[in-house]
Amino acid sequence: MTYQHTIHWSVDNDVNNLKGSVEIKEAAQKLAAGELVAFPTETVYGLGASARSHAAVQSIFKAKGRPSDNPLIVHIARAEDVNNYVEEVPETAWKLMNSFWPGPLTIILRHNGVLSTGVTAGLSTVALRMPDHPVALALIEASGEPVAAPSANRSGRPSPTTAGHVREDLDGRIAGIVDGGATGVGLESTVVDCTQEPVMILRPGGVTKSQLEAVVGQVDVDPSLQETAAEEAPRSPGMKYKHYAPEAPLTLIDGDEAFFHMCITEAKDKGSRIGVIVDKKEAADVEADKTYLLENSDGETVARELYAALRYFKKEDVDHIFMRVQPEDDIGFAIMNRLIKAAGGRILSRN
């Protein structure tokens, strides 16, 4: 479906104001009627549809250009709603929900067949989360629907962290966008498989491995996270296919500042226009054609600004984008997961 005009609803994030919001009510009515509505969460903007409507779910894949074997995350407004969609909830899953919901953690459980098969991509499991954002929770509750919602971007592009990013990719393809301002975490949720023991991380994100282990003990990491793609059918969003790619190719630089500068100089000497992503402390010494300045180099800041940085560079402005690899401790593991996918595995190292 195409739209002559994608509606833009601007809302106040104050919980008390949202309860009677005309904009939330209108957007919720669109969702309940089977249409697509983008909305903010604490991670990125999601593209929502009723998870019980097969036609609505299929509209997500069409609007995004997303492969249909890539499962979707179902967003709910109350933790107890999990019981409506799964066979059982193991004790480990309850512990994680009690500790991290609402929040950037998606939990995979065995579904009971109530939801559209398009949501589960034909798998026996479903991914569920309760977002920590007042707009998202108000919208889901008002719609009366479990809301399937991948990131609200064209498939393969950097995920959107503002309503403007959503409009860049999906204007005319969806019914509306609920504008709740910029998101907070900036990276998608951590996805954990709770159908096995120990729990396994299928996608790193806003909740770190050490945080999970503080609640449930040992947590495993899926071996495919060390690769750029998985060959089998993906069990979680983000496990397969190219993701997060900017318009110009991204290359990661593994080395010190001198090596980073040398890579930039060599590329410019060959006639390439170079864009770089660096923090403000490094910026003064970098001679690039276009620069995105990160506020600082700590993991939370890089995570929050990463997708905006990747969207900043246009192919008419630069031929290549360079960024140094990031420390892989805590949130850095999720950052590098996204960067390696965005770069298609391209890393220059000083041997």
Q: Which of 165, 152, 187 is nearest to 27 (CA)?
A: 152
What are residue 84's phi and psi, to 5 degrees? -75, -15
Range 250-349: architecture per CATH = 3-Layer(aba) Sandwich (3.40)
Binding residue per annotation — 43?
A: yes
Report the pLDDT averaged over residues 125-133.
98
At residue 29 the predicted structure's pLDDT band, cuts being 50, 70 and 90, is very high
Binding residue per annotation — 244?
A: yes
Binding residue per annotation — 304?
A: no
Binding residue per annotation — 189?
A: yes
The answer to whether 257 and 282 are in contact (CB under 8 A) is yes
Binding residue per annotation — 190?
A: no
Q: How far apart are CA 288 and CA 280, in angstroms?
A: 14
Q: How far apart are CA 125 and CA 182, in angstroms?
A: 31
Q: Check residue 226 and give its pLDDT.
A: 66
Is the pLDDT higher at 16 or at 44?
Answer: 44
The answer to whether 320 and 249 are in contact (CB under 8 A) is yes
- For all residues of the chain together, what is the average pLDDT? 93
Binding residue per annotation — 133?
A: no
Binding residue per annotation — 157?
A: no
Taking the model in full, what pTM does it have? 0.93
At residue 231 the predicted structure's pLDDT band, cuts being 50, 70 and 90, is very low
Question: Per-residue pLDDT tens for 271-318?
Answer: 999 999 999 888 777 889 999 999 999 999 999 999 999 999 999 999
Dihedral, CA of residue 102, residue 106, residue 109 and residue 113, to nearest 10? 90
Q: Let me know if 80 is exposed, middle or buried by CB neighbors in 10 A (0-12, 13-18, 19+).
A: exposed
At residue 97 the predicted structure's pLDDT band, cuts being 50, 70 and 90, is very high
Binding residue per annotation — 183?
A: no
Q: How far apart are CA 250 and CA 5, in angstroms?
A: 33
7-191: CATH class: alpha beta
Partners of 254 in beta bridges: 349
The answer to whether 183 and 42 are in contact (CB under 8 A) is yes
At residue 69 the predicted structure's pLDDT band, cuts being 50, 70 and 90, is confident
241 has pLDDT over 60 = no
Partners of 127 in beta bridges: 73, 108
DSSP letter, residue 233 = P
Which ranges in the chain are annotated with CATH 3.90.870.10?
Answer: 7-191
Which ranges in the chain are annotated with CATH 3.40.50.11030?
Answer: 250-349
Q: Check residue 282 and give its pLDDT.
A: 80
Q: How far apart are CA 172 and CA 176, in angstroms?
A: 9
Binding residue per annotation — 153?
A: no
Report how far apart the first and last C-alpha atoms of the chain are (Å, whole number): 51
Q: Check residue 3 and give its pLDDT.
A: 78
